[in-house]
Amino acid sequence: MTSHATMKDARTARWAEIDRGAAPAWLQAARRTAFERSMALGFPTTRLEAWRHTDVTPIARATFAAPEAGESSRMAPLAAAATLAGIAGPVLVFVNGHYAPALSKSGALAPGVRIESLAAAWAGRDTARLESYVDPEPETAAHAFTALNTALAVDGALIVIPRGVRLEAPIQLVFVAGPESDGPVESHPRVLVVAGPDSQATVVEIHAGQGASFTNASTEIIVGDAATVTHHRIQRASEAAFHIARTQARLGRDAHFESFVLGLGAALGRNDVDVRFDATGGECTLDGLWIHAGTQHADHQTFVDHREPHCTSRQLYKGVLGGTAHGVFNGRVLVRPNAQQTNAQQRNNNLLLSKAALVDTKPELEIHADDVRCTHGATIGRLDSQALFYLRSRGLDAPAAYEMLVQAFAREVLERTRDAALRAAYDGMAAERLLALAAGIAAGEGAA
Amino acid sequence: MAEPLLEIRGLHVEVDGKPILRGIDLVLEQGEVAAIMGPNGSGKSTLAHVLAGREGYQVTQGEVRYLGRDLLALPAEERAREGVFLAFQYPVEIPGVSNTYFMRAALNAIRKHRGLEELDGLDFVKLLREKLKLIHLEQDLLNRPVNAGFSGGEKKRNEIFQMAVLEPRLAILDETDSGLDIDALRIVSDGVNALRGKERGILVVTHYQRLLTYIVPDRVHVLAGGRIVKTGDRTLALELEEKGYAGLGAAAGNPA
């Protein structure tokens, strides 16, 4: 028997065990539907347009254990290192998908605010409200991983912000994945953020870990009327890890959603950000920066579904690639017939630091309304030799000049983070990574 | 007499196998301001770039001594640290890097090379403000990205500002006058004149005589067909203005 079949059996057994456990009826039904869907779909293949450049057979072929919740102190140093220092606000830590209360701190919360383990919420009394947040639209074939997450997610974070409440301090959700004694592990963490009308919150989702783990994260964000939600996904998974993540946001009337994705880790990474305008006047900003080297593969996809008039979407995704890394960007914008006065902008710029690095970028605009403004642009380039000479002619050596130019390229995205403390933290992470890349380049072909 | 700042002997340079400079001989003394004039395609900018260390030029013959040392053996950044400065004809735009950050990195690289302590933030900003006045630039320039969105005149002034901050021994101004209106030309020239000094040599590369009424050179070299075809005092520039470069064709033996 192949390990693929073994894992299929293992996941079936895991689901059956979850199915036997106590859960509200609606959740059990949702898990059953999702499980059947995910088994029917299997893992996506490169024959699917949305997965054309990303081959997930390495994930399908590998074997992963799914540890129970339990002793998490061993992962404490990793969790501490992954948590952003000097940032006020609650921190929820999850070890291999399970909430680790001993490593978390919540602090005092405003009345009605919920920031807690999803498993606890599901086991709680009032789950009818949670049911109302379930998106009735079924997963498409492109999102078999999301279906798998729905079927197998046993924990994660629930964040509920009541009407009119504005949380200043960001909420950190720290997910650490690490090997157990019996080998690499998989987890399917789930995050649900519900921002009531006129509320405001910033959620920072951090993924870090060790070893060849497989994380399949799914985050749903419901942005109420006139609410503002900022979601940052900081992907610092181990460079041996498989990391699949999807963020889905549904926006109410005049709602604002800001998404930033910083992709640094994983051997094979896939990140989807999907935004759906369910009412008029919504606005979203989707930013991304990924910096990869070695043999890393990173696939970033966005999908903005303009269903209603007078909504604005802006996207800026930038990639820096060295070594033989492969980056993919696919930005899909759908403007439905009803969505007049849509303003959709999209830009993807890529910087290649080595001859063997590769980028596939594709804007995908599908416009069915006639009174809209949609722009898109994609570039793939190398460091400007004139700019390099200019810097060197002022006394900077080649590594310093490379570093300065690469940092400048990345800065355009980084400086869009409004929270100064978060911006400084991300600057530091990006700088550390870029410095290593720039030094490698200057020492290699760049010096020629 | 002090040793020459710059000595170019029999310099031949090719680009992609095509000869551009065909035996340049030129001496620049310490404290001297010399103009290099010549028609388009004469090799003026090539000479400026070769001196600054730009890659892509093949030196096939000859040598360049800078304070007695082999200049051509040094990479561009070493030349800058040793005091060579090129004011670019087309200053490069670098979005995302502020002028302050750039100048601080450059000045500290040079100071470190010379065994001087790096300037701290406060002293550095004070220095920058002082130098800005020299070329009438607004302070907001310091926080703006290097040359990005600058007008042509601002870019040229920024080059002279950088020169003022970095205080080179040898400054090469590559067509710094091109694209400047009279007011900007005057400001740039005043800036350059303020930087004239006993030890500093300045090579003013230009197509037009106009600049030389503001920056009065000690010597004028005429470059044509890749060679210096005539050397004289400032009156040579006026002569060129009257007769044009064509009049020098016979002297060059190589009509430009």
Range A19-30 average pLDDT: 93
Q: Do A394 and B52 count as a contact with CB atoms less than 8 A apart? A: no
| pTM more than 0.90 | no
Tokens at B67, concatenated? 């304070």
pLDDT at residue A136, rounded to an integer: 78
Per-residue model confidence (pLDDT) at position A71? 66
Among all residues of chain B, which has the CA nearest to that of A390?
Answer: B92
User: Would you call B106 and A408 a contact, using CB atoms and an 8 Å cutoff?
Assistant: no
Contacts of A390 in chain B (CB under 8 A): 88, 91-92, 94
Cα(A27)–Cα(A41) distance, rounded to whole angstroms?
Answer: 21
CB contact under 8 A, A397 and B80: no
Q: A389 vs B76: CB contact, 8 Å cut-off?
A: yes
How would residue A3 be classed by pLDDT, with cut points 50, 70 and 90?
Answer: low
Q: Does the CB of B143 have a partner CB in chain A at under 8 Å?
A: no
Residues 6+ apart with CB under 8 A from A255: A223, A224, A225, A226, A227, A228, A229, A279, A281, A282, A283
Shortest Cα distance, chain A CAs vs residue B234, angstroms? 30
Measured between CB atoms, does B89 come within 8 Å of chain A?
no
Q: How many A/B residue pairs have CB atoms within 8 Å?
A: 74
Which H, E and C letters describe B69-137, residue by residue? EEHHHCCHHHHHHCCEEEECCCCCCEEEEEHHHHHHHHHHHHHHHCCCCCCCHHHHHHHHHHHHHHCCC
Comparing CB atoms, the residue among A393, A398, A408 nearest residue B86 is: A393
| A412 to B95: CB separation less than 8 angstroms, yes or no | yes
What pLDDT does residue A370 have?
Answer: 95
Cβ A266 vs Cβ A235: under 8 Å: yes
Tell me if chain A has a CB within 8 Å of the CB of B106.
yes
pLDDT band per the 50, 70, 90 thresholds, residue A67: confident
Least-confidence region, from A42-51, A331-340, B242-251: B242-251
Residues of chain A contacting B109 with CB distance shorter than 8 Å: 394-397, 400
End-to-end CA distance of chain B: 36
B27: left (phi over 0), alpha (psi -120 to 50) or beta: beta
Question: Hey, of B85, B92, B111, B166, which one would you mutate to test binding to chain A, going by the most A CBs within 10 A of its CB?
Answer: B92
Buried-state track A140-157, b at ≥16 Cβ within 10 A, e below 16: eebbbbbbbbbbbbbbbb
- The amino acid occupying position A113 is V
Q: Is the pLDDT of residue A2 over 80?
A: no
- Of A262, A280, A283, A281, the closest CA to residue A271 belongs to A262
Q: How many CB atoms lie within 10 A of CB B251?
A: 11
- Tokens standing for A394? 């002022």
Q: Which 3 state secondary structure label does DSSP give A379?
A: strand
Q: Which residues have a Cβ under 8 Å from the Cβ of A112 and sit 6 or more positions away?
A: A160, A162, A165
Predicted-complex ipTM score: 0.94
Tell me which long-range contacts A122-131 makes (C-beta under 8 A, separation of at least 24).
A122/A23, A122/A24, A122/A27, A123/A22, A127/A24, A127/A26, A127/A27, A130/A24, A130/A27, A130/A158, A130/A192, A131/A24, A131/A26, A131/A27
Residue B253: predicted pLDDT: 43
B residues 36..55 contacting A (CB < 8 A): 52-55
- Chain B residue with Cα closest to A399: B77
Residue B249 has pLDDT above 70, yes or no: no
pLDDT at B41: 87
Nearest CA among B59, B47, B51, B58 for reference residue B83 = B51
**pLDDT tens by residue, A368-424:** 999 999 999 999 999 999 999 999 999 999 989 998 999 999 999 999 999 999 999
Q: How many helices (H) and strands (E) does chain A have?
A: 10, 20
- Position A444 scores a pLDDT of 63
Q: Hey, of A392, A412, A416, A427, which one would you mutate to test binding to chain B, going by the most B CBs within 10 A of its CB?
A: A392
Q: Mean pLDDT across the stretch B196-225?
A: 94
Computed over its alpha carbons, how large is the radius of gyration of chain B? 18
Q: Which residue of A has its CA nearest to B145?
A: A408
pLDDT confidence of residue A442: 67
| Mean pLDDT for all residues in chain A | 93
pLDDT of residue B255: 40
